[in-house]
Amino acid sequence: MINATSLANRLEPGVSPRSIARLVSGQSSPRTLIGVSALLFAISAAVTIVWCSSMSAMGEMPMPGGWSMPMVWMRMPGETWAGAGASFVGMWLVMMVAMMLPSLVPMLTRYRCAVGWAGEGRLDRLTVLAGTGYFFVWTAIGLVIFPLGAGLAAAEMQLSNLARAVPMMAGIIVLGAGALQFTAWKSHHLKCCREAPVGTQRLPADSRTAWRQGVNFGRHCGLSCANLTAILLVAGVMDLRAMAAVTAAITAERLAPAGERAARAIGVAAVGAGLLLIARAAGLG
């Protein structure tokens, strides 16, 4: 078992065991972090629910192939594409706060442990900066997703053959996303999400490092759950049930004691869902 003295010697010679004792006793994860995160989660979840409900109330556009186009990829009357993109990215960020905070808080807690002997106020500011770096990555992902989604939606409205192929493509994407859960690539990025910062790694208490850590968290997280994000986009980015299911899957594979087994179980479920969607699209179901 690691005690305060041995941890101080391993991390930085000369650090007082008393200053490390708070880390060993678990006090490096203050109630403020949990409380603020819970409040942000509640607010972002509420805003997401309202947004999804308002978008659903607008209805969807029936498309060849027996599916419907969600309005999220379209401009409202009098709206510019820049305005539509900004609206999407804003709501995407709010949605990601609600979906990712449950698995982000343990990562921020480990980060605090790695710089835990900084002053409490400074540590709080660095934690906020790390979290901002994390969600900066998700904002960038949203900036990429919207033009791709809007462009594909426009093509589907112009090309009926492409629209008819969407149900089959959706099944293939879900099947591929499930298969990706069993790969070494997935395991690597999932491990980075579960363990970063690694072990008793000592991090300097400066803004540059905090931002870099947050961006690294976001990068590994974005890559780790890229396949699950693809499932969300295929199932419907406004579908609260799909959102809740993907959030539960992301949280389980990061926080469950047996994360690798959870990831494989999620993969089995996704592969089954993909095969079912393919069968339905082929007229076999």
Does residue 239 form part of some domain?
A: yes
Q: What is the mean pLDDT of residues 195-205?
A: 70
Does residue 237 form part of some domain?
A: yes
Lowest mean pLDDT among 187-196, 215-224, 261-270: 187-196
Lowest mean pLDDT among 17-31, 179-193, 213-227, 232-246: 17-31
| Amino acid letter, 26 | G
**pLDDT band at residue 258, thresholds of 50, 70 and 90?**
confident
Does residue 8 form part of some domain?
A: no
pLDDT computed for residue 8 by the predictor: 43
Query: Which residues lie below 8 Å from residue 247, measured CB to CB, with a gap of 6+?
Result: 98, 99, 102
Does residue 9 form part of some domain?
A: no
Does residue 19 form part of some domain?
A: no
Q: What is the mean pLDDT of residues 139-153?
A: 94
**pLDDT band at residue 30, thresholds of 50, 70 and 90?**
low
Asked if residue 103 lies in contact with residue 221, where contact means CB atoms within 8 angstroms, the answer is: yes
Query: Which residues lie below 8 Å from residue 241, measured CB to CB, with a gap of 6+?
Result: none
**Each residue's pLDDT tens digit, 163-172:** 999 999 999 9
Q: How many CA atoms lie within 13 A of 272 on its CB side?
A: 6
In this predicted structure, the answer to whether residue 23 has a pLDDT above a threshold of 70 is no
> Which residue would you say has higher pLDDT here, 13 or 241?
241
Does residue 267 form part of some domain?
A: yes
Helices (H), ranges, the chain: 4-11, 17-24, 31-57, 81-114, 120-158, 160-180, 184-195, 207-224, 226-235, 240-255, 259-281
Model confidence, pTM: 0.83
**Each residue's pLDDT tens digit, 37-67:** 999 999 999 999 998 888 777 777 888 888 8
Q: Which two tokens stand for residue 219?
A: 């990068």
Does residue 176 form part of some domain?
A: yes
Q: Which domain holds residue 162?
A: 32-281
Q: Round the average pLDDT of the chain to a whole number and report it.
A: 84
Asked if residue 216 lies in contact with residue 196, where contact means CB atoms within 8 angstroms, the answer is: yes
Does residue 147 form part of some domain?
A: yes
Total tally of structural domains belonging to the chain = 1
Main-chain phi, psi angles of 218, to 5 degrees: -65, -40
